[in-house]
Amino acid sequence: MYDREINGKEYSFGVSGKLIRNVLVMYDRQTNSFWSQLLGESIEGELVGTKLEFVPSWFTTWEEWQAMHPDSLALNKGYAGAQDPYEYGYYDSPDAGVIGETIQDDRLFTKEFVVGVELGNEAVAYPFSVLNNEPIVNDTIGETGVLVVFSEGSASAVVHDRTVNGQTLTFSAGTEPMTVVDAETGTVWDGISGQAIEGELVGSTLGRIKSTTVFWFGWKDFFPDTGLYGF
């Protein structure tokens, strides 16, 4: 998810119908520049090189979201009896999207889901198959300590900067679902929002790091040198 405002001006976006390495390409209606959905960056046109500001969001179930935000509204673009056209066979197939893979990397099944993170000049993918067994990950990308929090039931994954007030914290699972506890102060944190909810660091919030849930074939085609956590 991205902020549509660029240099104080609001832009509107649409689907171009184009793909780059199987990933959707958007266009803006003000300049007709093309944008990579994965990168959040204009790749062709007047605004080429411009980057959209990342807005924190996460993939989850409607049930879990409603429990957290009971007054939410949802856009329903379907209709009675509508079905997912990808429901039968697509997710189990080894085919890499519409145009095939650019880079071959068989460390994972083509359509395994990963949580992809790019920081600076480094990219790392966290496979669901690893996160299912290790839902709280303390890792370092470049010089940044990162925390990955994962819920197998809803396939929700969020990534935080685990440094607070200059101190890099080490986290483990809390006693309540989607909570974490840091070993350094014993503070309890909400794993989704990153807010400290009990203990010494109450009032602090972990910085959110941009991440995306994506098929392995889509991620490694954009980032062929990606690290792969757990491998």
Which residue did the predictor score with more confidence, 100 or 167? 167
What pTM was computed for the model? 0.87
Q: How confident is the model at residue 173 (pLDDT cuts 50, 70, 90)?
A: very high
**Mean per-residue pLDDT, 120-128:** 95
Q: What's residue 80's pLDDT?
A: 65
Complete domains list, the chain, with CATH = 5-44 (no CATH), 113-228 (2.102.10)
Question: What is the per-residue burial (b if ≥16 Cβ within 10 Å, else e) of 41-58?
Answer: ebbbeebeebebeeebeb
Alpha helices in 42-145 (DSSP H): 62-68, 128-131
Q: What's residue 105's pLDDT?
A: 87
Instruction: Give the model confidence (pLDDT) of 140-155 as tens digits.
Output: 999 999 999 999 888 8
